[in-house]
Copies of this chain bind each other. A is one copy, B any other.
């Protein structure tokens, strides 16, 4: 439990604890008291840095989104644009699930957990998913340019939906296979364009 680096700043320790707990247990299932215990900080310190639990959620989503994009960039840094990076995208999502015991997509989880999600949080998540979608579009363009606009859109959505569906099914069955299979299918689909 007490695996927090004591040297880290208070705000950082709160974010670390919230990140772990919100993802592993969910937002609603995680109490303020559990966060302060794991972060080893005082309750008043938490409310000094975050006005409410809801706002902590928003900051968590913002930071998780940045981390996600950064990790993807690092994971695909040495690969050529196009086919290679697209396939690696599926490896990346698979690896994330495996590292986190198949708890699902950080952002989809929040969407489904909070049906009446605040505007700000929902915007952050939509923004993140749009970034992923743009990543796919970029790689498709690298494979075939010029790519007819209508076909590009369609293929982007196909791959985007395929990845999300595969993440969901890997989560549901606690198994990497859906994502592995999806990657193979993408490999074949890319040969047709």
Contact = CB atoms under 8 A, between A and B. Distances in A.
A88 interface: no
Counted per complex, copies of this chain come to 2
Given A161-B165, A165-B165, 4 more contacts: A104-B111, A112-B171, A161-B162, A161-B164
A34 B178 CA distance: 39
Interface residues of A, number: 40
Contact of A158 (B29, B103, B116, B185): B185
A154 to B, nearest CB: 6
Interface of A: 24-26, 28-29, 103-104, 108-109, 111-116, 122, 125-126, 129, 154, 157-158, 160-166, 168-169, 171-173, 178, 181-182, 184-185, 188
Given A126-B173, A169-B129, A181-B154, A112 B113 contact: yes
